[in-house]
Structure 1
Amino acid sequence: MRVNVGSLRPVVACLLAGFLVAGVAQPAAAAPRRAEQWYLDELRIDQVHKVSTGRGVVVAVLDSGVEASHPDLRGQVLAGARSYGAAGDGRADEDGHGTHIAGIIAAKASGDGVDGIAPGAKILPIKLRKGTGSNSEAAVALGIRMAVDGGAKVINMSFGGPGMASPQEASAIKYALDHDVVVVGSAGNTANGRNTVSSPANTPGVIAVTGTTKGGKFWSGSVRGPEAVVAAPGDSVYNITNEAGYGWGDGTSDSSAIVSGLAALIRAKYPDLSAPSVINRIIRTARDAGPSGRDPQYGFGVIDPMKALTANVPPVTSNPLLGPAAATDPDPAGTGGPARTGGADEEFDVTQHGDRGGPTDQQVMVVGIGIAVVLVLLLGLAVFLIWNRRRYRREAARAAQIPDEVLDRVTPGAPPSPDAYYGQPSGYAPPPGYPPPPGHGQPSGYAPPPGYPPPPGHGQPSGYAPPPGYGPPSGYGPPGGPPPVPPTER
């Protein structure tokens, strides 16, 4: 079988056009960093941001400082302070840890960048040390007070040590709680040789956060203990680093930052809600993932930001993490305990809070690309069919030796005119009102149609005689002489 290569050129061109459109309209391929942030999808952050972005809330990051010049943190970082006795503010980070934590909380993607949990929040960096190393108790205690006095409504402490908080650290934490500040701390990592919840996260009133993996399972690198309050993603958390970089973090430091971002979302959504009620809302809406009630791994459960923002949770008057009942009571607020729903949202109507459960931007993008490719291919197919039909007619006309100008006068779908290129069929009279075509005489054996004289040069068909057995009546002849007289007249 031979293939007409020329006839395939339009199809190839259309296919190439479709692929070019698909290639141009692939922003997902141009922004791979957001695709690495699996934890944002598990927490439904795209939908959460339709309800709250943390706008107007100040989150203090007590850490190694924050690189405020990072493209994804521009405009997000306040001046802050240094609590280790040096002059200057908190907008410098030789270690990179504090910048990574700040990005998890409040990064704003700039082009091919990453997203934070609360991109509307502001970061107040409190630099606890210079370079790498450990933090002194005095620097931590002073840093907490600096954060409160600097206007922070949430304090994140992604660090820890063995034992309990020092008296000055405990006093500073009480200062923060008394000033209506939500304090969040990382539970600790087994890689550091610990097997119990670290200080200052284990201080009563602080939200101690353990880690989970993709899918919500307990992360093996996280410590556990009765002081655990909630769990959040802590395995392979992708976000920014210092020197305008990006990278992964493993640890409850990242888990703590995620919960601090959630606290900022709640405080922005409910600006009149007290810190104890914010804490209560976080633990009340957590998805109970371990044994029923509070357990050493997940605490009250894995955080659910959408439910924390939209569920009907009554306010409380005191911190639910304080008091003897806080260690074991799964329902410190007396409202029915954490729901074991597996992430379902049957307790509230999401549509009342701006969440329509619609597709994500990436899904819309993929659907749009698919529609564009299909439209381009359909258009290309239509062009090819029109072109191919015309080519076929031209080839047929050339085979019949019909001039192109005659072919162009033919209206598609209508019979050709009598004078186009069809001759008079043999044995048929011309249509009424049309003379016989030149060179064609009257068909032999036929008389002209009624009302038409014989064509010039045509008389009675030759060789025509009466049928056998037909002739003049017998005894009949031409009359001769006078007519006979009737008998009555004789």
Structure 2
Amino acid sequence: MRVYVGALRPVAAGLLAGLMVLGAAQPAGAAPRRAEQWYLDELRIDRAHQISTGRGVVVGLVDTGVDAGHPDLRGRVLRGASTRDSGDGRRDPEGHGTHMAGIIAANGAGVDGIAPDARILPIRKPPGTSFTVEDSATGIRMAVDGGAKVINLSYGSTGAVDEGEVAAVRYALERDVVVVAGAGNVRQLGPDIAAPAKFPGVIAVTGTSRGGGFWSGSAQGPEAVIAAPGDEVYNIGRDRGYGWGDGTSDSSAIVSGVAALIRSKYPKLSAPDVINRIIRTARDAGPPGRDPRYGFGRIDPVAALTADVPSVSANPLLGGATAAPGASSPAAAGEDDNFDVTEYGDRGGPTDQQVMVVGIGIAVALVVLLALVGFLIWNRRRHRRELARAGDVPDEVLDRMDAGAHGPPVRTGPSPYAPPPGPRNPPGRDRP
């Protein structure tokens, strides 16, 4: 296993580290590859691709670069830049950025990406150097200036907040860019959400495991916005192979892909509306409403692409956002809503816990109903048998009577228990 870790400049700003563990690359012939991508099935990504594939959207990837020659990324990687030299971002000797790019936009040659028709704009640090907050700030601005409408930041730092990095994030938000960042991994960065994920306005992504449970390696905290798969995420690996990644780096790449799907489906939608759509359609998990582990819930690409969601006037993660006067989202004409995530609780639909309780209630009601019907049938037959025994009627006759009561009449002939026939009085004569 390999960990992508870089050191921050030697000051008290903390450690800047990669947020994922990349599995050992598999041979190019490893198969079946799509079957390993369990997270795509949980996200119903095949259904999402019937609606949008991310065409026309550029995703900025500030990372270690991207191997543009990988078969799954051919035709998907634009000429990018380097934060400290003349490189164009299309080489990646470390493999981390290529893995992220594959999760976002792999073309299906070996694995599928979340937004396979999106384009990746790679912004990298120079190979063999440490990734610093200066690289982060410079890279974010480069991605914005290069035309990215979504930026993925799969790294993080602890310690004092760097004002230059905060200003770079603000630069992106002010230019209608959706900024997505991994919350951080406990093993590398500790239990709390790291920067830049914790900055206001950024979609901070925590990790989930197979089945939707919270991934134990993910950081958590009040800044959490959305949760996405981050455990055993199979995609492109090093050396033009394939491998597994574990970490909120993978989770953030998934959410960046979903943001690209939305921006492609609704090209006139603002970045605040894209963010609003993601959090309003999330599948609630954990305690009702926003919580430190799942944020507003687990990402739901299909709902984010199809639900009726009102338009907002500002980034809902900044607080105080309200529905724009006279404005609505493409799927919700005529709706109006006031929405502030600091007061956000219910999304209007049943939670997983509520669905489970209703299901259990229905099952119990059916069991009780069946038991009642069975008891009534048994009691009726018991009562008839008691009456028959009181009249000295054998069981076989009673059985024939029961068969007649529940089916076509049965001819039994003269009852052997009827009084024997005798002479009848002729008409007009009195009985003796």
- After TM superposition, the score normalised by the length of structure 1 is 0.61
2:341 and 2:310 map into 1 onto residues whose CA distance is 21
Give the AA of the match of 1:301: G
The answer to whether the 8 A contact 2:316-2:341 is kept is no
The structure-2 alpha-carbon separation of the partners of 1:134 and 1:338, relative to structure 1 and needing over 3 Å to count, comes to farther
**Superposition CA RMSD, Å:** 2.0
Kindly indicate whether residue 105 of structure 2 is the aligned counterpart of residue 91 of structure 1: no
Tell me which residue corresponds to 2:212. 216
Tell me which residue corresponds to 1:41. 41
Give the AA of the match of 1:106: A
Describe the SS at the equivalent of 1:146: helix
Q: Which runs of 4+ in 1 moved over 4 A?
A: 324-327
Kindly indicate whether residue 134 of structure 2 is the aligned counterpart of residue 128 of structure 1: no
Tell me which residue corresponds to 1:371. none
Tell me which residue corresponds to 2:82. 82
Equivalent residues in 2 for 1:180-191, closer than 5 Å: 180-191=176-187
* Post-superposition offset of 1:87: 1.3
Describe the SS at the equivalent of 2:33: helix
Equivalent residues in 2 for 1:406-485, closer than 5 Å: none
Describe the SS at the equivalent of 2:293: coil
Deviation track 1:375-425 (CA, whole Å, cap 9, x = no partner) reads: xxxxxxxxxxxxxxxxxxxxxxxxxxxxxxxxxxxxxxxxxxxxxxxxxxx
The answer to whether the 8 A contact 1:164-1:203 is kept is no
Tell me which residue corresponds to 2:430. none
2:255 and 2:86 map into 1 onto residues whose CA distance is 31
Give the AA of the match of 1:211: G
The answer to whether the 8 A contact 1:282-1:303 is kept is yes
Tell me which residue corresponds to 1:53. 53
Give the AA of the match of 1:126: I
Identity among equivalent positions (%) equals 65
The answer to whether the 8 A contact 1:284-1:338 is kept is no
The answer for unaligned runs of 5 or more in structure 1 is 1-28, 346-490
Tell me which residue corresponds to 2:247. 251
The structure-2 alpha-carbon separation of the partners of 1:223 and 1:145, relative to structure 1 and needing over 3 Å to count, comes to same
Describe the SS at the equivalent of 1:100: helix
Tell me which residue corresponds to 2:191. 195
* Post-superposition offset of 1:327: 6.4
Aligned match for 1:306, one of 295, 302, 305: 302
Deviation track 1:252-310 (CA, whole Å, cap 9, x = no partner) reads: 00000000000000000000000000000000000110111110000000011000000
1:169 and 1:225 map into 2 onto residues whose CA distance is 20
The structure-2 alpha-carbon separation of the partners of 1:285 and 1:220, relative to structure 1 and needing over 3 Å to count, comes to same
Equivalent residues in 2 for 1:259-270, closer than 5 Å: 259-270=255-266
Tell me which residue corresponds to 1:101. 100
Deviation track 1:424-472 (CA, whole Å, cap 9, x = no partner) reads: xxxxxxxxxxxxxxxxxxxxxxxxxxxxxxxxxxxxxxxxxxxxxxxxx
Deviation track 1:31-52 (CA, whole Å, cap 9, x = no partner) reads: 5000000000000011110000
Equivalent residues in 2 for 1:309-328, closer than 5 Å: 309-323=305-319, 328=342
The structure-2 alpha-carbon separation of the partners of 1:324 and 1:202, relative to structure 1 and needing over 3 Å to count, comes to farther
Aligned match for 2:173, one of 177, 192, 201: 177
The structure-2 alpha-carbon separation of the partners of 1:93 and 1:42, relative to structure 1 and needing over 3 Å to count, comes to same
Tell me which residue corresponds to 2:344. 330
How many residues end up aligned between the 2 structures?
309
The answer for unaligned runs of 5 or more in structure 2 is 1-28, 322-339, 356-432
Give the AA of the match of 2:154: S
* Post-superposition offset of 1:94: 1.2
Tell me which residue corresponds to 1:282. 278
2:242 and 2:30 map into 1 onto residues whose CA distance is 16
1:313 and 1:79 map into 2 onto residues whose CA distance is 35
1:136 and 1:343 map into 2 onto residues whose CA distance is 43
1:31 and 1:46 map into 2 onto residues whose CA distance is 20
1:190 and 1:338 map into 2 onto residues whose CA distance is 33
* Post-superposition offset of 1:339: 3.0
The answer to whether the 8 A contact 1:182-1:279 is kept is yes
The answer to whether the 8 A contact 1:286-1:338 is kept is no
* Post-superposition offset of 1:164: 5.2
